[in-house]
Amino acid sequence: MTLGQRRGEVELMLKGYGLTTAEIFYRMPDYRNVLNTFVWQHYDLAPDYPELFRFIEFWQEKIEGPLHSVRFTHRKLIAPNEWRNVVGEFRLQ
């Protein structure tokens, strides 16, 4: 990965994008009783997921294997950290 690509990813994260991972289950074109899986990852915006839905539309238009189901997860990579006030400290020697 080049420095320019990494910089572009950081800019996306700062704009609120997170990493979306989708597990796509689809039927084999010649063997409709056989399910296969495909894993897709892309930076996307929750809760609308425009990139994921664009890919699903592409799949339905261009790829012969009909979709069975899609399972996905989304994780923001840059988020506020948890903060807590520490009142005391114990030292063990």
pLDDT in tens, 8-62: 888 888 888 899 999 999 999 899 899 999 999 999 999 999 999 999 999 999 9
> Quick check: 55 and 41 in contact, CB under 8 A?
no
Domain residue extents for the chain: 3-76
Residue 73 tokens, joined: 């997860």
The Cα–Cα gap between 59 and 47 comes to: 21
Instruction: Give the predicted TM-score (pTM) of the model.
Output: 0.74
CA distances from 1 to 5, 13, 29 (A): 6, 17, 35
CA distance between the termini of the chain = 45
